[in-house]
Amino acid sequence: MEFLAWLEQTEFSTWLRESDWAHPIVLCFHAVGMGLVVGISFMYCARVLGYAKSFPLAAFDQLFGLAWFGFAMNAASGIVLLMAEPRRMPATPAFVIKMVLIMFAGLSLWALSRALEGKRDELAGGVPAGAKTAAIASIVLWCGAIVAGRLIGYTIGPPPA
């Protein structure tokens, strides 16, 4: 707690909160990263659920590189946003819920890739039911993470005394 209070009053944290441009620019990175991670995940899940069966699942490998890039961008910009409000943010339920949902969204994509292992080359062939469940879970979890993320701004409280 003392560390968080110290972090909050560092020059960098103060600058993040008080500068006119720092916050919007960090949010820009966060929005682009979201588009890459969630957008590519949605398309992948749609494909797993049976959409565009002529599109080879293996072709997503190149897009995953881009999705990981987006994820790295959002981890970095997310840490910067957290550093701006190191005490208020962890005390906001929407923030904690968002982190948990992102963790489970990641896990669901990992489970999805496990379920598809060795079966990706069969094109129109049946995708295992487990993979479809993981795909639906991942869509729901990303939607939840976006809802929770948007709620942070509306529900963040005053700095704890």
Binding site for another protein (CB under 8 A): 20-21, 24-25, 27-28, 31-32, 34-36, 38-43, 46, 51-52, 54-56, 59, 62-63, 66, 142-143, 146-147, 149-151, 154
Supply the minimum distance, in Å, between the C-beta of residue 66 and another protein: 7
Taking the complex as a whole, the smallest distance from the CB of residue 54 to another protein amounts, in Å, to: 4
- Report how far residue 38's alpha carbon sits from residue 35's, in angstroms, rounded to the nearest whole number: 6
Alpha-carbon distance 87 to 6, whole Å? Answer: 10
Q: Are 161 and 152 in contact (CB under 8 A)?
A: no
- Taking the complex as a whole, how short is the minimal distance between the CB of residue 18 and another protein, in angstroms? 14
Shortest Å, Cβ 64 to another protein: 12
**Residues sharing a CB contact under 8 Å with residue 15, sequence separation 6 or more, in sequence order:** 22
> Which residue lies nearer to another protein by CB, 51 or 110?
51
User: Is residue 105 exposed (0-12), middle (13-18) or buried (19+ Cβ within 10 Å)?
Assistant: buried
* Cβ nearer to another protein, comparing 33 with 86: 33
Of residues 4 and 77, the one with the C-beta less far from another protein: 77
80 near 9, Cβ under 8 Å?
no
